[in-house]
Structure 1
Amino acid sequence: MFLRNAAIALLFVGAQCFAGCNASAAEPNGTSSPEIWPTNAWQVSTPEEQGMDSASLARLIESVGTYKQDSLMIVRHGKIVAEAYYAPYVAGVSHDLRSVTKSIVSTLTAIELQHGLLDSVDHPVIDLFPDKQIANIDDNKKAMTVQSLLDMTSGIDWQEKAYTPDETIIRMYRSPDRTEFVLSQPMSRAPGTTFYYNSGNPYVLSALITKKTGQSAFDFAKKELFEPLGIKSAKWGAVDAQGVTDGEAGLSLAPHDMARIGYLYLHNGMWDGKQIIPSSWVDRAKAGSVSATFGFHYANLWWSLPEKDAYMARGRHSQLILVLPKLDVVAVMTGILRDDEYYSASRLVDDISNSVKSDNPLPPDAIAQALLAASLRQAASEKPCAVGGTPELAKAVSGKTYQFDANVLHVKTFSLTFSDADPFWEITTETGKTDRPTQHFSGLLGLDGTFRRSPPAAYGINAVRGRWLNENTLSIERRILGHSETQTWALSFSGDEVKVNFENTDGLKAELHGRKIE
């Protein structure tokens, strides 16, 4: 659902603050109790006060923790009832949302409609881009509408699965005009007939936002969506050559701000007395009129499970904003799962639903609440990996710098220092810029089986741990907190040479060769 070059993985997301507040209105389920608006801060409650069972949530937090998750947050009746952060991730760090970004682009498109900037989602797409030199125009392409882009039924011939160089999505990113590239692809079917996941669709929708507003989608979002909701943690990459924000991915939000998006949808597009997006937009996302894959439905760039009264924004590596309207629940999850791992959204819906016991407060349960508190502490406590020991070789390589041949990661030099009380690593990379040809990165290294978090840097917070696999090979696991990628560097030393096998959760693999220079 989202592509990132591993070289870019050296520059990422840092810690940010988040926000929220309260006021009064009607509950989404029609009850007369005062509504809470978390524009300045989320209120916190025990689960029992909101009719939920603490013991059930404790089991859920433990279950989610067996996967490679970063966070789980559950809100009922406008108050946080459970909020887990799995070490080494910590609260407040903006998280890479991958394809949850698409659902935000959907929301911005809805705001265009609300403001009258877009006359109708039934408008033919190619008519909206008269300045583009669009190829392969036929009757199907002429019939392609904004709605078909929103429903992933555009009919454009597209390949997007393994992110190999010949796939359409990769060719889109290499194109000098990505919007024109998408619109120029041949049609494989009539629009509106068949679901096919195509990240070019939301890219075009982002370009449409720029065309209609004169702003990038990010700038438009800051004013019309993020500011009204109290969202302050947003980051969204660079614009392309035409000034268009990447509409298919690239947005980062802290979990509290992800929940604000879900809360907006829970309240049918209303926020503290203001209709941010049309309620009909939310109704369509909730209903999921398009049959998608793996039992899901789809509409307006949101996934749904109508039989469970659940709809959600989903992103690669287990990013999720989940809305359960009948239960008055919003849940948020972030993670770093590989593509062959997943936490079932259907199971999560069931587990949350089963923890809801009443629409009214339950009697306090001190033991269950203590169990929940213990599960939250356990989540925040890192589980060390096994460590076998340190070979004599460590002394020989400590403090030495290795220079690498040209490689896809653009790594120029690498060094490790084991002798200090706080072991650390250093990397330089080639930038390709004449004014600043190299860039330097460094951080702490945990050798006891746990991650060492480095002080915040401009590109984020490094969390790194290493262990010797044998007498010659050191394996390093590196994360930049809030980014859904994990990197593994296996360094095999032989004399003055080193071979590095690199792999990340996006599936990129690389082999680097270097030699000691000092």
Structure 2
Amino acid sequence: MGCIYRFLAGTAAISMVAGSVFAGGARAAPAEQLSCEVSSGRDLERAAPEQVGLDSGLLADALTFASGRNRLNVQVFRHNCLIGEGPTNDETGNVAWNIWSATKSVVSLLAGIAWDQGKLDLEAPIDRYLPPGLGDEKHRSITVENLLTESSGLAADILTEGITGVIPIDPNGAVQALGVPLNNPPGSVFSYSERDVDLLAYVIELAMGEPLQQFAQRELFDPLGIERGDYYWARDRAGHTYGYAHLMIPPNDFAKLGLLVSNNGRWGTQQLVSETYLRMARQPSPANKCFGYLLWIGLGCEESQDFQPADVYFMVGLGMQNVFIVPSLDLTVVWTGLFGSVSNQGIEEALADTTELAHEFFRRLFAAFQDPLVPDPGPYVEPPLRADSSRSVDTNLLMAVFGIGPAAYPGCDVFSCLNYPLAPPFADTAPGCVIQACLGPDPRTPGIR
């Protein structure tokens, strides 16, 4: 997934400071532009595109293009001002929507808050937080930072790990993680694992001494004006929140999370997440130069050497649930939908590769800037088809849920798990919430009302 966003291929690092020097020589400082304040209310501050340096007609073209590619909700912000919306935003903005792996970035924010409060040591082995006797010595030596950087060493297969969350039979995600074999020493190799983040969510709970969602609501969601009834965040059958996915949140609330990150953790007068933590979160990790603390980053990505912006980073979810942040342009784009890339190599490749859609959208968006800050990289050129082993099913990881095989944790299966009481499958599911979205007239159905 490190090469997902080659959409910016062919551009160069960007600077927005007055008197910046671009490829064509020195340019005068841009005219003063409007800035907006973030808001915990339902209506975010808006501005005309021209007030922040974009052409409204060209921006509308970019939004129309995105809408035609299954982008059901698109929000473009510059200087915190909402300047562009997709044509179906009114219908989709308040509907709770599964942001899939972008949930991981929300867990990273919670880890940052816990670290800021001195209750979570990122360098500590999780042994410090786990109950005595849970997991062996090698698993307990995994550090919090290993989990944040997806370098725990655990065997991983995202398809297999996701199946038992979509069909909610997982007895206890954290305990299951502690049964997964270690393929590599912790910290040495990047391996995109769902169980890593389930384990991290559990560690945060233990460090804070309260359920993850209770902590998240008080410390993160409430200050942003995200109400408890807005969203549904799935739990496993032991009652622990999934960290890897399954936060169903309305795009209008998702946008607030994106703006919080783009404002370096500050929301109005409150510093919800420290700038220090977010600076660390955006740094390339030793095991993967494209990945920080559950955030994907552009600088130094080995698979996109033809584009290395100084500061691009993003949240990534299956089906292209994304927040893109370009600090040097003071630009934040939030979109949700159902895939949308096209490929000459078949439907499977179009679903797996999100590069083409993002490339073509951002070509159009950058063309809307009144000053040509980003050169046009040209039409998308599809790379050769490459085999992707992550699309297979790891039977060991799948059977472990039933207490069978080398990846099973002793005494934990779909019928019982250690001393944790297990709820029936679907017992936690909110009314109207099915896999991707929460819909329906039931007043208990999550969403902004």
Seen in structure 2, the aligned counterparts of structure 1 residues 143 and 77 have a Cα distance that, compared at 3 Å, is same
SS class of match (2:74): strand
Q: Tell me, yes or no, if the aligned pair for 2:169 and 2:237 is still in contact at 8 Å.
A: no
The residue correspondences of 1:19-168 to structure 2 (distance < 5 A) are: 36-40=37-41, 41-86=43-88, 89-118=91-120, 120-135=121-136, 137-138=137-138, 141=139, 143-161=141-159
1:270 correspondence with 2:272: no
Instruction: Determine the structure 2 residue equivalent to 1:353.
Output: 366
Seen in structure 2, the aligned counterparts of structure 1 residues 171 and 90 have a Cα distance that, compared at 3 Å, is closer
In 2, distance between residues paired with 1:317 and 1:251? 14
The residue correspondences of 1:385-404 to structure 2 (distance < 5 A) are: none
Task: Determine which structure has greater relative contact order: mean sequence separation of CA pairs < 8 Å that are 6+ residues apart, divided by chain length.
Answer: 2
TM-score where L is the length of structure 1: 0.58
Q: Tell me, yes or no, if the aligned pair for 1:52 and 1:356 is still in contact at 8 Å.
A: yes
Question: Which of 285, 310, 313 is the aligned partner of 2:312?
Answer: 310
Seen in structure 2, the aligned counterparts of structure 1 residues 279 and 29 have a Cα distance that, compared at 3 Å, is farther
Seen in structure 2, the aligned counterparts of structure 1 residues 52 and 108 have a Cα distance that, compared at 3 Å, is same
Seen in structure 2, the aligned counterparts of structure 1 residues 102 and 142 have a Cα distance that, compared at 3 Å, is same
1:209 correspondence with 2:204: yes
**1:218-243: per-residue Cα shift (whole Å, max 9, x none)?**
21111100111122364233433443
Give the aligned residue type for 2:253: D
**How far has the Cα of 1:286 moved from its partner?**
2.7
Aligned pairs, number? 339
**1:276-318: per-residue Cα shift (whole Å, max 9, x none)?**
11212222333333565xxx81111111212233111111111
**How far has the Cα of 1:275 moved from its partner?**
1.8
Instruction: Determine the structure 1 residue equivalent to 2:441.
Output: 456
Instruction: Determine the structure 2 residue equivalent to 1:298.
Output: 291
Q: Tell me, yes or no, if the aligned pair for 1:286 and 1:310 is still in contact at 8 Å.
A: no
Give the aligned residue type for 1:355: A
In 2, distance between residues paired with 1:82 and 1:291? 37
**How far has the Cα of 1:44 moved from its partner?**
1.3
In 1, distance between residues paired with 2:440 and 2:176? 41
**How far has the Cα of 1:45 moved from its partner?**
1.2
In 2, distance between residues paired with 1:173 and 1:194? 29
In 2, distance between residues paired with 1:47 and 1:460? 35
- Structure with bigger strand share is 1
Give the aligned residue type for 1:43: E
Seen in structure 2, the aligned counterparts of structure 1 residues 228 and 270 have a Cα distance that, compared at 3 Å, is same
**1:13-33: per-residue Cα shift (whole Å, max 9, x none)?**
xxxxxxxxxxxxxxx989998
**How far has the Cα of 1:148 moved from its partner?**
0.9
In 1, distance between residues paired with 2:368 and 2:224? 28
SS class of match (2:178): helix
Instruction: Determine the structure 1 residue equivalent to 2:191.
Output: 196
Seen in structure 2, the aligned counterparts of structure 1 residues 114 and 65 have a Cα distance that, compared at 3 Å, is same
Q: Which runs of 5+ in 1 are unaligned?
A: 2-27, 361-431, 442-453, 462-480, 483-518
**1:64-108: per-residue Cα shift (whole Å, max 9, x none)?**
123222111101111110011438953322221111111101100
Which structure 1 residue ranges, 4+ long, deviate > 6 Å from structure 2? 28-34, 169-173
In 1, distance between residues paired with 2:166 and 2:354? 30
- Structure with bigger helix share is 2
TM-score where L is the length of structure 2: 0.67
SS class of match (2:183): coil
**How far has the Cα of 1:160 moved from its partner?**
2.2
Q: Tell me, yes or no, if the aligned pair for 1:51 and 1:359 is still in contact at 8 Å.
A: no
Instruction: Determine the structure 2 residue equivalent to 1:187.
Output: 182
Instruction: Determine the structure 2 residue equivalent to 1:178.
Output: 173
In 2, distance between residues paired with 1:346 and 1:64? 11
In 2, distance between residues paired with 1:58 and 1:276? 33
In 1, distance between residues paired with 2:155 and 2:316? 23
Q: Tell me, yes or no, if the aligned pair for 1:284 and 1:299 is still in contact at 8 Å.
A: yes
Q: Tell me, yes or no, if the aligned pair for 2:126 and 2:203 is still in contact at 8 Å.
A: no
Question: How big is the alpha-carbon RMSD for the aligned residues of Structure 1 and Structure 2?
Answer: 3.6
Instruction: Determine the structure 2 residue equivalent to 1:324.
Output: 326
Q: Tell me, yes or no, if the aligned pair for 1:285 and 1:303 is still in contact at 8 Å.
A: no
Question: Which of 224, 230, 245 is the aligned partner of 1:229?
Answer: 224
Seen in structure 2, the aligned counterparts of structure 1 residues 348 and 280 have a Cα distance that, compared at 3 Å, is farther
Question: Which of 211, 229, 240 is the aligned partner of 2:236?
Answer: 240
Q: Tell me, yes or no, if the aligned pair for 1:321 and 1:331 is still in contact at 8 Å.
A: yes
Instruction: Determine the structure 2 residue equivalent to 1:395.
Output: none
In 2, distance between residues paired with 1:314 and 1:222? 22
SS class of match (2:291): strand
